[in-house]
Structure 1
Amino acid sequence: MEIHRARFVPYPPSAINALAFSYSHSKEFVGKGVRNLRLAIGRANGNIEIWNPNNGTWVHESTLSGGKDRSVEGLAWTQEPDEEDENGYVTDGRLRLFSIGYSSTVTEWDLATGLPLRHSSGNHSEVWSLAAQPKWKKNSKSREGDFRGQNLVAGCADGTLALLSTADDDLRFSRFLTRPTARKARVLSVVWQNRDVVVAGFADSAIRVFDARNGALLRNITLGAPSLGGPREILVWTVKCLNNGDIVAGDSTGEVRFYDGKNFSQMQRISAHEADVLDIAVSKDGDTIFSGGMDKRTVAYTLSNSHHGNRKWAKIAHRRYHDHDVKTMATFESRSMSVMVSGGLDTHPIIVPIREFDTEHSRTLPALPQSPPVISAPRARLLVSWWDREVRIWRVKKRDVSSETPKLVARLALKGEENINSASISEDGSLLAVSTSAGAKVFQLSSRKAQNERGLRVRKLGTPPLAEGTGARLVQLSPNGKWLAMVTHENEICLARLAMDEEDGRWKLVPRVVELHRLHNKVDYQNSLNGHWGSYDRTITRIAMTNDVLVVSDISGCIDSWVVEGNEDMTAPEVDWPETDGAGNASSDDEDDGDEDESRPVVFYGQHWIRNPAGHLLPKLDSSALVLSFRPSDNAESQANGNPAVHPTRSNPHANSHKLPSGDRRLLVVTAQHQIYEFDVLQGRLTDWSRRNPASEFPSEFRGVRDRTMGCLWDVHDERRQRLWLYGSNWVFMFDLAADLCARPAAEVADGATNDDAETPMKKRKRGLEEDPLRKKTSGAGSKMPARELEGAGRKYRKITGADASSWVSVDKARSSPATAADGEAEDEAEQQQDDSTTTALAALRRGVSETNGDEVDDAAQNGPQRRTHWHTFKYRPILGLVAISHPDDRADADADKTGAGGKAADAPASAPLPLEVVLVERPSWDLDLPPKFVGVHER
């Protein structure tokens, strides 16, 4: 494989401005509520990413697209009260997500559609902070008829605190808690101490406490005079409340202050930052606090009780997980997870353990999107990328023809304010489809006639006739460009037909869109994300298409498929459907004829789409699909007599052919749990290769990788060359599908083993990364630290009971559980395993084995039975996308031309094609255009 390593694609990741978990701890939900846990990440470009922690897997499920000059500056989750019916069955209340950003509007989002659901804007200025009321709890103080929902409080730039009501499944202004004063100090932060008291941090060196029931000012806490030579006012950037009501505040002086929750007096202050403290995160029990600031530090504090019973906070550690300002933090704790997530200007979410802060590593999530914003047209050697509202197209030259760098041949700036959701290009590069929340657009790309003009001519074909005001979440063009599939925000699948006029060589859109219906696979559970208001788990996230098969998958793991029925006939009417009256109903003399007309399909040039007859046989996946891709195959069929279509007659005016596609349509699926399956879509079953190679047979390096799969590409030439390339944000894997992953090497078979034994999986296997004791029972962040990396005193002590009796005892778990000798043995085993892996790597280097060159796997794959079935590398990072820039047919034709021309190539076998050319786009963090960062006194 020949790699064009590209860094010229300008994709600017956006800063993280807000983080919010749907729940802060596990006591807020019961039963199957863990399925509701989501993390919302608000970015500076207006997008909101929804992540599923999934017990430490961390999968990026969907993105709520923003728009021009929109920034998410705050996020808040609320949950409607649970409902109980006559039979005592309790229905979980609905989860609702709200956001703010540089405007006077608070927006509620519909998670099922990914669109704004409603807005609330009052007679106040820009909203700077937002907080949700704590959940209602049944106690002695609660009265019958009290509001059991969660209201919102918004802090504004003019000093106003506005109370917003969420009652009756609505969002509306309720009343003001405080009106602007003469100074008009901004409300930089706000939090609820309990359901009746609001604490707000202002920009005038004050923290004010209000009664939410009547708006009375309970206390005005001043922070004192600033330091000499500093600003006149102290900015209270963040304020949080502990379980016992105590208040914690971080300000622009770099100090963290603690106040008593009853008399509001200052108890303690700690100067732990060299610059502003921007956010604070609090653990569930209130004994651990994290603070982040402009000095890039993340500081941890713990509560200790002195001998006199006084509660004192102490700084225990500070670390630099980020390369720039730490702007926001959020925490979640349960029995299996205990994590703090932080984000800032460096665009990377960081997962930090809470309970195991000093014994586990942190983890960095990818800043680049899970669905790569990079596609290609291999036959035209075009590379397409998009971000926000802009699309750029490059042409990549062949290396053996020219040493030119890729040229920018087209640039599209879409009208409107909505960001781009999806884009697709045909295989020959003649058609480009782009979708936003406002609609979908189709463009024709053609070369300019002038020789001195290298750019592409872009002509807009129009907008497919979707419902008015309805945009598209996903778009996908068939490889030949004749079909355009669109998935709306309401999860409706629509198909449009495109045709080319042979006289002028222009494409056109057929003015008719047909809707495809999914199987009625209802979600078998009800929770706060799925109910009568909509089903979030039925949201379509992936789509794949060939010239005659369409497949989609949703978050729940269901797969739906459709196929083309009939043969194409360009002499037939471009569209044929039942006649309708003005109301859109089929006209007929009686009801029976009307039902027959309504069930009659819409035919385009003699072809129409139907549900896959074997589609119901495809199983539901264990988790959502991250990759859907068809293995390339030659399924072209010759049309008998040149015109095999069925033409209408007088007795049958709507005649259509019922011929289904033949051959194999092998669909590769990679799930969020990194399970790899290959289905024969037309047969509704697993392929033979997938049956022989279950997930347990994949190499341990792949099963142990943490970052999820982003995409794939194929290197297929014949039955002997069937290679699959998978990639994530920092890894690339190759699997040879022409061989079994579990087959024994030929050397073992030659030593006396039979062929039957060679086909049987080996019973004893080396322990994989997923079985590494350092990765077992973690808190949801990184792996456990080896003993040699732990800070502080040693984790073992010597116990002497006699003159010569001595033993080493591990004390790793002394704080949470009694130490046992087994813990020490597991630790020693983990260290020994790491030492063995290091020794193996050094031995491989001594033998000359390297994993940094993709050409080596090409050579190894052609050595007959000795070829390697898989290969991987981690040298490319972070990866924005990996796409093919050459087509197998073009490579075979070029190789045939060289063979016929004589020379060295004439001696090569005719079946060996040229190497696959790909473009690997990287976006290193040091190449980001970030504002200047704070430089401390101890830094250069």
Structure 2
Amino acid sequence: MTQTAQNLLVHRARFVDYNGANITALSFSHGSRLDKRTPSDLRLALGRSNGDIEIWNPRNGWCQELVIQGGEGRTIEGLVWSNISGEPLRLFSIGGSTVVTEWNLETGLPLKNYDCNAGVIWSMAMNESQNKLAVGCDNGCVVVIDISGGSGVMEHEAVLQRQDSRILSVAWRMDEHVIGGCADGRIRVWSALKGAEMRGRILQTMKVDKSKKESTLVWCVTYLPKIDQIVSGDSTGSVKFWDFQYSTLAQSFKVHDADVLCLTADETNTKVFSAGIDRKIYNFSLAPSSSNKKAARWVVSSNRLLHSNDVRTMASYQSKGADFLVSGGVEKSLVISSMGSFSEGSYRKIPFVVPFHKNVLVNQQQRLCVMWQQSTVKIWAMGDEADSSNNYKLVCKLSLKDEQNISTCALSPDGQVLIVGRATTTKMFHLLPSNDKLKVTKLDNDFLLKNGTSHVKFVDNSRIVIVSPRNDFLLLNLEDEDSDEKPVKIELPDLKETNTGIKLPHINSINHLDVRGSFAVISRICGAVDLVNLESTSAVPVARLMNLITAIHISTRRTIALTTADNKVLEFLLHEEDGVNVGTISPWCKKNKDYLPKEFEQQKDKCLGIFSGSPDDDSIWFWSSNYLARFDMSQDLPLNTRKRPRKHKIDENTVTDKSTFIDEGEEEDDEDEDLMDETSDLLKSDLGKEDSTNRVAKNNKPFFITDKYRSLLFADLLARDQIVVVERPSSTSSSAAAFDLPKIVF
């Protein structure tokens, strides 16, 4: 590509009918501690109505690390963590059944399904010691489950005294009592302490206001330990504060126009937040009395309308460096605000279309667009400029009968073989053009049928590379009958064990895979990058970064390009002359890594994908859900004289943490709070002195960015001078064509 302005055809594909699922559960992995710094292993678990569970990392402006796929008929109605010092984090879920599931975060598969045998579970809570679960069932029982045996162990401990109405919500008072909100308008308190005289009995019952038309439902309860009060939210729109000791109503507020579905409180128990069907979040504050400390009264201090539909769930977390109030519901977007400055503070809405984990791919050779969602795969054929009025056509819709949702797909370069991967099985299909459609035939492969897939890519038309749910890296020849369908397992370099890795079993899981020619590159959630030579079946480490890698790509320049969660761009060279010498920073990266354009580096949206220009072109494209950017790697970026962000040293490696909420610039002083990805030995500090020679003027356009394309699901090169941008349909106006071809000039 020359340094003059270029015209490039952009296909705006708006026909991909991607629909998200409601947010039904939220849970932070740690309890609030204002006297502690934010631990590096803090995570948010998010559950959706389609059974998916997402793990989010709040550092660097919130990144989605992991998606555990759901399945047909599944839903997530409750999530809790068990966090015991020195042991891995454990995640439990419930969802419209009699079963409590503990998840293996490393593989994304259930570790243990425990049937309570007491009716459908409506609610779940963890005790203060993090070793017991209480679940509320629709037959009126509270079942206490002992989880102290360690990972994968759930044992029945007790069934507390049964009553006649279903238990919609539960909360613990330390380890001693279980508080339940019931469908008959009552709040009940059970004794749950082992060995207590009244163990299992109902000790207290409190009644909320009755509705004239129907029975009142107590949808949510929470306990405030510092002031010994219970807070309840019910179907009349009331939020009530109860004195635990005397089982009396302290205060009542009818502020919501409809059902209150969720409650949460800050660490000091002086702020309570409620939300529900009327979309508003109300903030209650405890106003102290100057004369009598016990006379403190709750007041409604503010309310905000941050959601466009029902709010189903909320969670909160506070520490020295963090202040989060997260909420979600029917709108499908995750809303992040602050408890301390709730009334006037800024908030962020992360839409469900942000594709940290892709569900779209584009086949250049056959001009096909593939989209998968839950158990359905759709394939469109894309036209060209000659017929822009009818430039796309659905040529295949494949609905799988299996229960599990699809985790990944791959299409061979010639467009004839489709691989569909799930957590426990992988299927292969042959696609044959027939009368403007694709005829689908199932292909048998015993190995694929018996093994799950988390990532898969075609090397050529006959070979594929697979990453299994257990992070095995496999090379499989689909046409080699002599191999008896057995793959070649390629050993990956070992990773140094860290404190964060002990707490988070999934931190060393592979999150990106890219293949070009005889090379494959993988990245892990912890920031490790490895290169695999598919001919010699050997793997070597490229880098050990201290940040989440959001996108990685082997470019036509024979380099590895990647972006991190703090919007940094790095490029590593590949040398094939005398063996493989990897891990060398490219000359462009040496000169330009600290001079990225501020309109790129300061983007709130993470870069989610990278693709190369045509083979004789040195440009590399970067895209996010809300922008498309291009770097001409044959030119240096203009020198940027703006003040560089303050940095601090940790383990002799430079780390910059720009998160709004998490501590910046302070040194770690707690063993358990080591920054994620301590190992950075392979990212050498020999990046060279900045060389101001050969830098170009700004008008030569070494960088281009546009936010014209919104709610991007995918972007890739379609032909030599054509790019396809896949946008979510609702992000465009109804009058716009579903597939058009504007020109982009840079």
* 1:102 Cα deviation from its structure 2 partner: 0.6
Q: In the aligned structure 2, how far is the partner of 1:769 from the partner of 1:277?
A: 44
Secondary structure at 1:10's aligned position in 2? coil
Deviations 1:607-664 (A, max 9, x none): xx4214xx24x2212212221111125xxxxxxxxxxxxxxxxxxxxxxxxxxxxxxx
Asked if 1:59 corresponds to 2:29, the answer is no
User: After the TM superposition, which residues 215-230 of structure 1 pair with which residues of structure 2 at under 5 Å, given as runs?
Assistant: 215-226=200-211, 228=212, 230=213
Measured in 2, the distance between the counterparts of 1:738 and 1:403 equals 37
Matched, 1:155 2:48: no
Measure how far apart 1:699 and its partner are: 0.6
Q: Does residue 718 of structure 2 align to residue 885 of structure 1? A: yes
Per the alignment, in what secondary structure is the counterpart of residue 167 of structure 1? coil
1:465 match: secondary structure = helix
1:873 to 665, 687, 706: 706
Alignment of 1:483-882 (within 5 A): 483-499=463-479, 511-525=485-499, 528-530=502-504, 535-565=505-535, 609-612=536-539, 615-616=540-541, 618-632=542-556, 665-681=558-574, 682-684=580-582, 685-694=584-593, 696-718=594-616, 721-742=617-638, 761=639, 764-765=641-642, 778-779=660-661, 866-882=699-715
Aligned position for 2:248: 265
Select 2:342's aligned residue among 357, 374, 382.
Answer: 357
Q: Describe the superposition over 1:856-914 as per-residue Cα deviations: whole angstroms up to 9, x where unpaired.
A: xxxxxxx999421212222332222223332x3xxxxxxxxxxxxxxxxxxxxxxxxxx
Q: Give the whole-Å Cα distance in 2 for the aligned partners of 1:554 and 1:299.
A: 40
What TM-score does the superposition give when structure 1 sets the normalisation length? 0.68
Report whether the alignment pairs 1:460 with 2:442: yes
Structure 1 runs of 4+ with >6 Å offset: 27-30, 766-770, 925-928
Residue 338 of structure 1 is matched in structure 2 by: 323
Give CA-to-partner distance per residue, 1:726-780, whole Å, 9 cap, x none: 12122222222221113xxxxxxxxxxxxxxxxxx45x3378999xxxx988436
The equivalent residue for 1:100 is 94
8 A Cα contact 1:701 1:768, kept in partner = no
Query: Residue in 1 aligned with 2:309?
Result: 324
Alignment of 1:469-488 (within 5 A): 470-478=451-459, 480-488=460-468
Contact 2:530 2:543 in 1 (8 A): no
| Correspondent of 1:410 among 365, 389, 396 | 396
> In the alignment, what sits opposite 2:158?
175
Identity of aligned residues (%): 30
1:311 corresponds to: 296
Q: Trace 1:199-210 onto structure 2 (pairs within 5 A).
A: 199-210=179-190
Q: How does 1:86-165 map to 2 (within 5 A)?
A: 92-135=86-129, 149-165=130-146
Q: Is the 8 A contact 1:877 1:924 kept in 2?
A: no
Greater shift in the superposed pair: 390-399 or 439-448:
439-448
Q: Does 2:68 correspond to 1:68?
A: no
Q: Would you tell me which structure has more helix in proportion to its own residues?
A: 1
Cα 1:779–1:360 shift into 2, 3 Å: farther
Change (3 A) 1:526 1:2: closer
The runs of 5 or more residues in structure 2 that have no matched partner are 1-7, 194-198, 575-579, 648-656, 664-695, 735-746
* Letter matched to residue 519 of structure 1: P
SS at match of 1:689: helix
Query: Shift of residue 321 of structure 1?
Result: 0.7
CA distance in 2 between counterparts of 1:159 and 1:469 reads 41
User: What letter matches 2:20 in structure 1?
Assistant: P
Is the 1:462–1:509 Cα contact (8 Å) retained in structure 2?
Answer: no
* 2:166 corresponds to 1:186: yes
- Name the structure 2 match of 1:48: 53
Inter-CA distance 429–623: structure 2 relative to 1 (3 Å threshold): same
> In the superposition, relative to structure 1, how do residues 28 and 196 fare at CA in structure 2: closer, same or farther (>3 Å)?
farther
- Please report the RMSD computed on the Cα atoms of aligned residues, expressed in angstroms: 2.6
Amino acid aligned to 1:49:
E
CA distance in 2, matches of 1:543, 1:307: 62
What displacement does 1:922 show?
2.0
**Cα distance in 2 between the residues matched to 1:315 and 1:134:** 28
> Any idea what the Cα deviations from partners look like across 1:775-800, whole Å, max 9, x if unmatched?
9884369xxxxxxxxxxxxxxxxxxx
* Structure 1 residue 714: Cα displacement: 2.2
The alignment partner of 2:275 has SS state of strand
Query: Which residue does 1:795 correspond to in 2?
Result: none
Q: 1: CA distance between counterparts of 2:704 and 2:646?
A: 16
Q: How far is 1:515 from its partner?
A: 0.7
Of structures 1 and 2, the one scoring higher in RCO (CA 8 A, sep 6+) is 2
Matches of 1:277 and 1:331, distance apart in 2 = 17
CA distance in 1 between partners of 2:220 and 2:698 (Å) = 64
Distance 1:865 1:253, change over 3 A: closer
Q: Which residue of structure 2 lines up, in the alignment, with residue 18 of structure 1?
A: 25
* Secondary structure in 2 matching 1:41: strand
Pair 1:564–1:879, CA change in 2 (3 A) = closer
Q: Name the CA shift for 1:454/1:177 in 2 (closer, same or farther; >3 Å).
A: same
**Cα 1:26–1:731, aligned 2, differ >3 Å: closer, same or farther?**
farther
Report if aligned partners of 2:562, 2:570 keep a CA contact under 8 Å in 1.
Answer: yes
Asked whether the equivalents of residues 883 and 918 of structure 1 are also in contact (C-alpha less than 8 Å), the reply is yes
TM-superposition CA deviations, 1:347-394 (whole Å, max 9, x none): 000001111224420011231231221101011110000000110000
Deviation at 1:194, TM superposition (A): 1.4
Letter in 2 for 1:487: V
1:45 is paired with a residue whose SS is coil
Count of matched residue pairs: 669
Deviation at 1:465, TM superposition (A): 1.3
Q: Residues 285-308 of structure 1, C-alpha deviation per residue, up to 9 Å, x if partnerless?
A: 011111111011111111102355
Hey, what's the Cα distance between the residues in 2 that align with 1:127 and 1:562? 46
Tell me how far 1:317 sits from its aligned partner: 1.4
Offset at 1:444?
2.2
Larger Rg: 1
CA distance in 2, matches of 1:864, 1:260: 70
Tell me whether 1:367 sits opposite 2:374 in the alignment: no
AA aligned opposite 2:337 = V
Residue number in structure 1 paired with 2:577: none
Cα distance between partner residues in 2 of 1:429 and 1:395 = 11
Aligned residues of 1:246 and 1:260 also touching (Cα < 8 A): yes
Q: Is the 8 A contact 2:426 2:451 kept in 1?
A: no
Contact 1:882/1:920 (<8 A) preserved: yes
Cα distance in 2 between the residues matched to 1:242 and 1:258: 10
* Farther off after superposition, 273-282 or 431-440: 431-440
Give the match for residue 34 of structure 1. Answer: 39
Note closer, same or farther for the CA distance 1:779–1:3 as it changes in structure 2 (3 Å cut). Answer: same
- Structure 1: distance between partners of 2:697 and 2:502: 55
Instruction: Choose which of 917, 929, 935 in structure 1 pairs with 2:723.
Output: 917
2:718 maps to a residue whose letter is I
Provide the rounded CA distance (Å) in 2 between the counterparts of 1:274 and 1:150.
38
Query: 2:572 and 2:416 mapped to 1: Cα distance?
Result: 30
Code of the residue aligned with 1:917 in structure 2: it is I
SS in 2 for 1:701: helix
One-letter amino acid of the structure 2 residue matched with residue 2 of structure 1: L
Report the more deviating stretch, 916-925 or 10-19. 916-925
Q: Taking structure 2 as the reference length, what is the TM-score of the superposition?
A: 0.85
The answer to whether the 8 A contact 1:885-1:919 is kept is no
Inter-CA distance 780–399: structure 2 relative to 1 (3 Å threshold)? farther
Q: In structure 1, what is the Cα distance between the partners aligned to 2:439 and 2:24?
A: 39
Q: Distance in 1 between matches of 2:404 and 2:645?
A: 45
Q: 3-state SS of the aligned residue for 2:395?
A: strand
Structure richer in strand, relative to its length: 2
